[in-house]
Chains A and B, each alone.
Chain A
Amino acid sequence: MSLTHTIAKRIGWGLLLLIGVLILNFTLISIAPGDIADSIAGDMGGADATVIEEIRERYGLNQPFYVQLWKYVSGVARLDLGFSYFYNTPVTQLILEKLPATLLLVFSSQILAIVLGTLLGVLAAKKPNGIVSLLVTFLSLFGFAAPVFWSGILLIIAFVSIFPLFPVGGMTDVTVEGGFFVQLLDLLHHLFLPMITLASIYLALYSRLARASMLEVLGADYIRTARAKGLPQRMVLYKHALKNALGPIVTVAGLQFSAVMSGAVVVETVFSWPGLGTLALQSILARDTPTIMGILFFSSFVVIVVNILTDITLRVIDPRIKAG
């Protein structure tokens, strides 16, 4: 099968999957009792019957389900994700507004987790039964077991309440005045705790993975040869062993993308970080269907694209993999 054929087939399946996701999401959300009119009336402290009817009329909520579904799907086909009932803004604009904050949080925490996790894994692998290894294993278990909303709150108590070193939430302090570097410092100051919190789960994952992978590689013949040649420990570890042990870490990092995005939803809420997660939660609470649908569609799209790209990349770099 040619590469072009594989790509075309993958994209075809991806599109079908997206349509399936759209229909399923829309149906599930529509089945739930109550609608945005109740939610808006709740926010307003109650509303007259005519006002509630007018809201339903305006947003087409009194139309049959299939009409609403068709309108939505055909809108998405025209790249129109609809209009947020709650925020009074086009959903595409909302998502684009919030995306940079989420990307910043996701990428910074991932980079931190990968770099620090790998380093800790290597240190642990150096002496598998040593104190460092034990500490890394303990930290990993803690990171895995502790839910991020809990560890986030612990960090807030420690570093905001008891030792007031960091701000309690948000992305910037609008009262801070100054040039680019002052603003950047302020941003990093706000980013630190949410980044650490989100990184903590993945730090555990990567350090465990690096430790196991390193232990496996360190037992290989070529490492014994390197040692026999008299290479110093540092060279053996970082030049020869780590290079080969990195493979699984890189693969897992790619696959973790969707998981990190969902972790960000919780962390953003704890730290009032103004990203897609906060938007998702607010939209769910307000039953803002177009926004929830938009976020779900966007994340499905990203996951499908990342998967297609992974498939294609693997096909390109390893000809032994036949497209199925």
Chain B
Amino acid sequence: MKKHLLAATLALTTVTTSAVVAEEPKQGGTLVMAIQTTPRHLNPAVQSGTATGQPGTQLFASLLRYDDGWEPQPYLAESWEISEDELSVTINLVEGATFHDGKPITSEDVAFSIDTVKANHPFKSMFAPVTAVETPDATTAIIKLSEPHPALMLAMSSQLLSIIPKHVYGDGQDPKAHPQNSEGVVGSGPFKLVEFKRDQHIILERYDDYFMEGLPYLDKIVMRIVKDGAARTIALESGELMLSGFEQEPRDINRMKKKDTLDVSNAGYAAIGPVNWLAFNTQQGKTADPAVRKAIAYAVDRNFLIKAIMLGATQPALTGIHPGSPFYDGSVEPYDIDLDKANQILDDAGYAKGDDGMRFPLTVDFGWASAKPVAEYLKPQLKKVGIDITVRSSADFPTWAKRVSNHEFDITFDNVFNWGDPVIGVHRTYSSQNIKKGVIWSNTQQYSNARVDELMALAGATNDIEERKKYYAEFQQILADELPLYPLYPSPYHTISNTQVGNPPNSVWGTSHPLDRVYLK
């Protein structure tokens, strides 16, 4: 048996989720924080997205947790072992852990949770190779796999695998519509639910019998649902709110950076991995020609967009893998702006300029208001290389999603999340198996390359990280050359915390992470 990590002692000795801790954490207090939208409900096992993830990771513990360096840490799993053939993972649960109703958390609950997530969660690739979960005793669960599955580790962390009680959610009702997803939630995490008022707040209180000794530090967390960014900024400045994650409005971020009472940090969020790009329709119209895509890449000034529109709040992303991921390859062709080269490529490809200086028209779509400036920028910019851009807005997200998922577009601004391991959130964009009409964030570019498919299969079937890096490097080089999409930058997610907040979360999952080590100074 290959022992990857036996980390029982690490749990209590390493507080790696925080930066240098200068002072002793204090017990007690109420943290008032913001979340930006009302969650559909609070059970992340059957509902993805960060709206559910932020309260969900307080209510439910997962098997592992990740620190800011992408290292798995013990959580409900005290230790874990991967077999030599990589086809089974043995999970040893921490002794004495209980659900919020006092009943013990057992391997049966782990098996039930994995089955529930596998059957109901929208990300099917997370547990697809899981064939069975064996439960030889109450604290041991053995996950059996049909093939080696490196994404399993991240899939067992944060909001992706909430351990839910079988005796509550296994009562035969549809878990997606279970009444205890919103009220009377029976969780396994550091905080229990007191009240969930839609569009108003979620109140959580310390679970005294939480399995991690001495944690959580806070007595209570009040998550206020504040949709308006300006309102959150003012409330953070005035001290009405103490913490807010997933903040991404550059103007607000820069403004709050100037406030002495606030800490503004972009640490973390790499596992969420939100990357913005211009996606091309690779099968229809002029963008089906790789030369056109390359010319557009050379004509668009990524650094200008970062400086002028994102006000420097983010950094370039040269590939569809988040720059914070260990698999990111920054050595690919960056396509730095070169209008002469762009014009040359189009001339060579036979797209001559007409009398009006234009070669051909293209449409640029966008699906949400914050993307509009980028779409608008493309019109005058691509005119310089003779491409006549029409900017097409959509009334709302579903309208845009319908157009793009039915492949009725030339170029669209898009924002897609990596969701931890590339197997979960990256492969879906490029896999030729995933060209599915009507499904947003499938391979809507309709890109198909046998070698890319092969590389994804190879990288998704080994736990050897160096091997994986090698496969993903080649994968990114091919994509940078063929450009089914032109990556721009990650969403500038920031965590804003009052200086009175100790250990603000900075894990790779941002604030979708247990806040059990957060305290008030």
CB-based contact A285/B203 at 8 Å: no
Structural contact, B49 and A43, CB atoms closer than 8 A: yes
In the complex, the answer to whether B226 meets A272 with C-beta atoms within 8 Å is: yes
Q: Does A34 contact B (CB under 8 A)?
A: yes
Tell me if B396 and A287 are in contact (CB < 8 A): yes
Pair B51/A43 contact, Cβ less than 8 Å: yes
Contacts of B225 in A (CB 8 A): 272
Q: Is the CB of A33 within 8 A of B398?
A: yes
Judge whether B501 is part of the interface by a CB distance below 8 angstroms: no
- Give A105 to B400 CA distance when docked, in angstroms: 35
* Chain B hits for A156, CB < 8 A: 230-231, 234
Q: Does A153 lie within 8 Å of B230, measured CB to CB?
A: yes
Say which one of A45-53, A111-119, A134-142, A252-260 lies at the interface with B: A45-53
Contact size class for A? 35 or more
Does chain A have a CB within 8 A of B466?
no
Interface residues of A in 80-97 (CB under 8 A from B): 86-89, 94, 97
A residues 127-168 in Cβ contact with B at 8 Å: 153, 156-157, 160-161, 164, 167-168
A45 touches B49 (CB 8 A): yes
Which of A38, A153, A269 counts the most B-chain CB atoms under 10 A from its CB?
A38
Assembly CA distance A42 to B367 (angstroms): 11
Query: Among A34, A36, A47, A279, which residue has the most Cβ atoms of chain B within 10 A?
Result: A34
B36-47: CB near A (< 8 Å → 1, else 0) gives 011011000001
Which of B208-216, B235-243, B246-254, B349-357 contacts the other chain? Answer: B235-243
Report A194 CB to chain B, min CB distance, Å.
12
**Cβ of B226 and Cβ of A49 under 8 Å apart?**
no
Contact (Cβ within 8 A) A41 B441: yes
Chain A residues lying within 8 Å of B240, measured Cβ to Cβ, are 167-168
**Inside 8 A of B123's CB, which chain A residues have their CB?**
46-48
Identify the closest chain A residue to B368 (Cβ).
A42
A40 to B123, CA, bound (A): 13
Work out how many contacts link A and B, with CB atoms closer than 8 A: 156
- Which residues of the partner chain B approach A39 to less than 8 Å between Cβ atoms? 397-398, 401
Q: How large is the interface on B (under 10, 10 to 19, 20 to 34, 35 or more residues)?
A: 35 or more
- CB–CB B48/A44 < 8 A: yes
Q: How far is the CA of A164 from the CA of B195 in the complex (A)?
A: 28
Task: Tell me whether B200 and A170 are in contact (CB under 8 A).
Answer: yes
Q: Which residues of B contact A167 (CB under 8 A)?
A: 235, 240
**A-chain residues with CB within 8 Å of residue B442 when the two chains form the complex:** 46, 49
| CB < 8 Å neighbour of A44 from B122, B197, B398 | B122
Determine whether the beta carbon of A170 is less than 8 Å from that of B224: yes
A87/B203 contact (C-beta < 8 A), A36-B398, A38-B401, A47-B439 known: no
Residues from chain A with Cβ under 8 Å of B238 in the complex: 160-161, 164, 168
A264 at the interface (CB under 8 A from B): no
Task: Kindly state whether residue B145 has any CB partner on chain A within 8 Å.
Answer: no
B244-264 interface code vs A (CB 8 A; 1 in, 0 out) = 000000000000000000000
Task: Check A284 against B226 for contact (C-beta < 8 Å).
Answer: no
Q: How far is the CA of A46 from the CA of B395 in the complex (A)?
A: 20
CA distance A44 to B126 in the complex (A): 14
Please judge, given known A-B contacts A43-B51, A170-B224, whether A161 and B237 are in contact too, CB under 8 Å: yes
Residue in A closest to B397 when the chains form the complex, CB atoms: A42
Cβ–Cβ < 8 Å partners of B195 in chain A: 174
Looking at the assembled complex, report how far the CB atom of B275 sits from the nearest CB atom of chain A, in whole angstroms.
Answer: 12
A274: contacting residue among B124, B199, B419, CB under 8 A = B199
Q: How far is the CB of B416 from chain A (nearest CB, A)?
A: 7
Extra A-B contacts (19), CB below 8 Å, given A33-B402, A50-B124: A34-B398, A36-B398, A42-B401, A43-B40, A44-B47, A45-B50, A47-B123, A48-B439, A49-B436, A86-B40, A160-B234, A168-B238, A170-B224, A171-B200, A174-B222, A272-B199, A272-B226, A272-B227, A274-B198
Interface pairs (30), CB distance under 8 Å: A33-B398, A36-B398, A38-B397, A38-B402, A41-B122, A41-B440, A41-B441, A44-B48, A45-B48, A45-B50, A45-B419, A45-B425, A46-B416, A46-B417, A46-B442, A47-B123, A49-B442, A51-B122, A51-B124, A156-B230, A160-B238, A164-B238, A167-B240, A168-B231, A168-B234, A168-B235, A169-B231, A170-B201, A175-B222, A287-B396
